[in-house]
Structure 1
């Protein structure tokens, strides 16, 4: 039996969760920052600008980092650089990396930058919150707020209706069950069922279920049992939000199809799977969207788009998601 930790994906679900629930992210982890933002004005994700910064540095890939433009209540523009650090051990270079990104963004765009760090590791004592160096009477210091996932008690997470309480629970249980698929199965099922008890709307239940399912990956034999149990739970609760037996069968078959097609190097199989989901949900798909999907050439992007196609609210929203892949 394969170790589920080998297939656990932390970065991608975190990144997407921030994109979906950015105000909730700040409200949960950095309430003082949240209070200082004028939420009557739109915020903008600056993925293209951030990718340019990454390409110009040598700090390596950091999928969960996000750059967002917001407006403060005093009318000032601010760029917020968010770092999600998932390392399970001390990373001496982490504060330096934050400084490099922060200074490069300011250097290129001449805009104030606030760096925030979420430490998702399992080492209690590791809490870097500044980068500093000095010599000959001079000193440079960058201080940045941090949030440590270990600081949030299970009781607090269970009682909170903030979507990131669910994300943190899923993250920590994924770590704790690294070598125990039975535990991961039980906890994934418990967290998924709890979505119905937190007062979420149907759309949020669908999104959070998808993120949990993505992060808390299970060996195939456990995943099949998990899906059957969710179907039974929904039937008993008379809340068919997530799926039905037919939808699970369709999704499972499509996922297998896209994986087989991509493994064979036939990207068209993946595109056809996505289009089939969209046609089942929305009856028809525009030629423009078909052409956009034909331009996607990466397995990871197609897999992500397949997941999104299952819960996305409209074709226009999905088309925007596809277009974002070419602006990064």
Structure 2
């Protein structure tokens, strides 16, 4: 059966609205520092929708328009247009230009257009639009953050306490595991475990788990396994919201597992694929592996790989999992 379609629209939108200050601090720190955060931002969905209709550009589900207050002496009102683009688009830069001038025309106030490129194409990096006619030049240059650029820094994402570091890691892992259910399950379980390690309140953990769960689709029988690991985490961390977390995970399993569960006996990957997943997870948790660990993994039998998969997220050290031979 086909893997459930990946859905970035709603989780990204919800995360931006709930944790907008962290969004700005992580992706656009210079712009973040110009905002007076004592004044709450206002999200102008209806106003942006009107601009889109006027421009006849179609429905844009990943656009956000935010009104903020600047930190300068005049405490002036500023408008931030955020675009999270998840696929390559031929006329993307021109559309950004159209949005920009229509927003300025609507509010007669400075507008900052900030772009997140969440697409899987490394070479696609539009950051400007311009034309020159009869000596009259018009142009826009807009800041761009390419999420693919964070992949070499995955270890930093996983240790950061910014919400969007973890969500960026989830996005990258989702892209890297299309069609690889077992590997995606391991990454999703690891990210869920990291939520518990942060000193975050229960609501924030639930919010982010909902984003991860929505973004990183896995078949129902693997979702059941994730629910079991969440249960272990709840017991080990004595979390006060066990029932809700379990309800979310198990409900997801019931919805998605009606058909996938019939294929539960199907092998989810060849042995070498599982070995590579375990190797990657061990490196992410504990850093470069010593020689005795590399040798153990190279010779590990399926039962030993399964044992590592079940314990890797809860182990405090590599020594709890793999002992050197004497």
| TM-score, normalization by structure 2 | 0.73
Question: In the superposition, relative to structure 1, how do residues 173 and 246 fare at CA in structure 2: closer, same or farther (>3 Å)?
Answer: closer
Q: Does the residue aligned with 2:60 lie in a helix, a strand or coil?
A: coil
Q: Deviations over 1:264-304 (max 9, x none)?
A: xxxxxxxxxxxxxxxxxxxxxxxxxxxxxxxxxxxxxxxxx
Deviation at 1:240, TM superposition (A): 4.4
Matched, 1:12 2:25: no
1:248: how far off?
Answer: 4.8
Q: Quick check: 2:227–2:246 contact (8 Å CA) kept in 1?
A: no
1:143 corresponds to which of 141, 147, 163: 141
Deviations 1:178-232 (A, max 9, x none): 1111111111110011111222222211111111111111122222221222112
Question: 2:38 matched to 1:43?
Answer: no
Q: Which residue number in structure 1 is paired with residue 205 of structure 2? A: 205
CA distance in 1, matches of 2:83, 2:188: 25
* Alignment match, 1:80: 80
Structure 1 SS opposite 2:243:
coil
- Paired position in structure 1 for 2:176: 176
Aligned-residue offset at 1:2: 1.6
Matched pairs, number: 253
- Which deviates more from structure 2 when the two are superposed, residues 232-241 or residues 74-83? 232-241
Correspondence for 1:107 among 100, 105, 114: 105
User: SS in structure 1 opposite 2:208?
Assistant: helix
Q: What is the Cα-based RMSD across aligned positions, in Å?
A: 2.2
Match of 1:68 in 2: 66
Partner SS for 1:56? helix
Flag the 1:250–1:150 CA change in 2: closer, same or farther, 3 A: closer
> Is the 1:209–1:242 contact (alpha carbons within 8 Å) kept by the matching residues of 2?
no
Distance in 2, Cα, partners of 1:22 & 1:248: 25
Structure 2: stretches of 5+ with no match in the other structure: 256-326
Counterpart position of 1:124:
122
CA offset digits 1:224-270 (Å, max 9, x no partner): 221222112222332243536873588459x85xxxxxxxxxxxxxx
Do the aligned partners of residues 20 and 246 (structure 1) sit closer, same or farther apart at CA in structure 2, a change above 3 Å counting? Answer: closer
Aligned partners of 2:223 and 2:252 also within 8 Å? no
Larger Rg over CA atoms: 2
Separation (CA, whole Å) in 2 of partners of 1:182 and 1:45: 38
Cα distance in 2 for residues equivalent to 1:12 and 1:136 = 44
* In structure 1, distance between residues paired with 2:86 and 2:243: 31
SS at match of 2:68: strand
Partner of 1:59: 57
